Amino acid sequence: MPTKLRFEVQGKSPLVYLTFYNDDFEKNLAKENADDFDRINFQLANEVDGCIPGEGLEVGDINDVKVFKNDELIYEDSRTYIKEDIENDEEWRNELLESGMMIVSNEDSDAEINNILSDKQNIEVSNLWTTLNDFTQKYNYCSIEKVECYKAAGTVTIDIEEDIVPHYKDFEWVTMGYDTDTKGLAAGLVSCGIDTSLIGVKYKNTFYQFDCTNEGGFNEINYYKKVDGQWEWAEDIEEKINEMV
């Protein structure tokens, strides 16, 4: 009998949006008339790429975890657990297994990447760090927008062709951290209040990405441009936009 497993998490950490613009972004801004300027429309007209590094699901701020098997709730907790901690404490492990716990964060090994993951991508490890350097190589203008988060949720469903009993050795949370060793985009994201985000589930070396929803309020946006291969705060661009809005 096929099994449908649904993993649901909730959290409340910053929402962070990273947007990249075309090479004419600054030139096009100079042509804008203050009387007709609309910041959102201008950004959309010049946007070429982007991602959402902060979906409100920082690992340390997860406050609700649910797992459903064929729409029946089989596990619920208020936090996530690390595999190493459980396996080093037999009493705790047995207590958690009796409660139905069947998924953990595995920090035994990690990997560095230069981009972001896509759904159904093959991955060897579930603890990932990104420099975002692939974006740095391609683009010269970007913005980082931080939004106050009221609540956030992530959901992913995995269809399995057999009837299984979920076990923590089969399922792992997939986390994405941001490499701050350089002065690149990743360091800028960390300054917005994100460090290690929960982004989905790993099962049989396949990444299943969360479908995220969130609610937010106050936002703050900063613009950057690449100078001599390094990202720098674009104070002149920011002042120009703020003068016109």
Residue 181 has pLDDT above 80, yes or no: no
Q: How many domains does the chain have?
A: 1
Residue 88 pLDDT: 82
Q: Which pLDDT belongs to residue 186?
A: 81
Flag whether pLDDT at 231 surpasses 70: yes
* Mean pLDDT rounded to a whole number for the chain: 90
pLDDT at 154 over 90: yes
Which tens digits make up the pLDDT trace of 27-67?
Answer: 999 999 989 999 999 999 999 999 998 899 999 999 999 99
Residues 139, 19: contact at Cβ < 8 Å? Answer: no
- The whole model's pTM is what? 0.89
Rounded-to-integer distance, Cα 88 and Cα 38, Å: 56
**Per-residue pLDDT at 182:** 60
pLDDT of residue 102: 77
* Domain carrying residue 155: 3-244
pLDDT tens-digit map of 119-144 = 899 999 999 998 888 998 999 999 99
